[in-house]
A and B are shown apart, each in its own frame.
Chain A
Amino acid sequence: MAAPLSDRKRSRPRPGRQAFAALLAVAALSAAVWLWAVNESPDTIRAAVAQVGGAAALLLCAAVTAAVHQAAAARSALARLADAEARSRQDREARTEIEDQVTALADTAVPLMLRRIREDRTTAAEVLAGELPEVLPPVAHLRRTVLDQLLEADSRTATAMISTADCGARIQARLTTLLAQLRELEERYGDRSDIFSDLLKVDHNVSRTGRLADTLVTLAGGRSGRRWTRPIVMESILRGAAGRITAYRRVRLHSTSTLAVVGHAAEGVMQALAEVMDNAVNFSAHGTDAHVYVQEEDTGIVVTVEDSGLGIRRRERRLAESLLSEPRDLSTLPSSRMGLAVVGSLAHKYGLKVSLRPSARGGTGVVLLIPTHLLTEPRAPEPRPSTRSTAESSDGPGETVASGEDASSRPDGSRPSLPRRSTAGTAEAPSAQPGGLPRRRRGRTLAEAVRENPEQLFPLRSASAGKQVRGGLSTRFSAFREAVPGSEEQHSQNDA
Chain B
Amino acid sequence: MRADPLHKEKPDRLYMVTGGRGGADEPSLDSVALIVAESEPSPEMQSEHAAVLRLCARPTAVVELSAELGLPVSAVRVLLADLLDTGAVTARHPAPSTVREGPQHDPDTLKQVLLALQRL
Contact = CB atoms under 8 A, between A and B. Distances in A.
Interface of A: 176, 179-180, 183-184, 186-187, 189-194, 196-201, 203-204, 207, 226, 228-229, 232-233, 235-237, 239-240, 242-243, 248-249, 254, 256, 266-267, 270, 383, 385-386, 389, 394-404, 407-408, 412, 414-419, 423-424, 427-428, 446-447, 450-451, 454, 457, 470-475, 481, 483-484, 487-488, 490-491, 494
Given A187-B72, A415-B107, 19 more contacts: A190-B71, A194-B24, A197-B74, A200-B22, A240-B16, A249-B19, A266-B11, A395-B8, A399-B5, A400-B68, A402-B2, A414-B107, A415-B105, A447-B120, A471-B67, A472-B68, A474-B63, A481-B104, A484-B104
Nearest to B64: A472
Interface string B1-14: 11001111111111
B64 A204 contact: no
Contacts of B110: 415, 418, 484
B63 A472 contact: yes
Contact of A180 (B9, B64, B113, B116): B9
Nearest to A386: B54
Interface string B62-105: 01101111111111010000000000000000000000000011
A481 B105 CA distance: 9
Interface residues of B, number: 63
B24 A197 contact: yes
Interface in B49-65: 51, 54-55, 60-61, 63-64
B70 A394 contact: yes
Main secondary structure of the interface of B (DSSP, over half): helix
Given A235-B12, A240-B12, A416 B47 contact: no
Contacts, number: 221
B117 A419 contact: yes
Contacts of A412: 105
A138 B9 CA distance: 64
Contacts of A481: 104
Contacts of B115: 491
Given A235-B12, A383-B51, A472 B67 contact: yes
A197 B113 contact: no
A447 B118 contact: yes
A200 B15 contact: yes
Contacts of A398: 1-2
B72 A474 contact: no
B58 to A, nearest CB: 10
Contacts of A428: 1
A470 B114 contact: no
B27 to A, nearest CB: 11
13 contacts: A192-B74, A193-B23, A200-B15, A200-B21, A236-B10, A239-B12, A240-B11, A399-B5, A415-B105, A415-B110, A472-B64, A473-B64, A491-B112
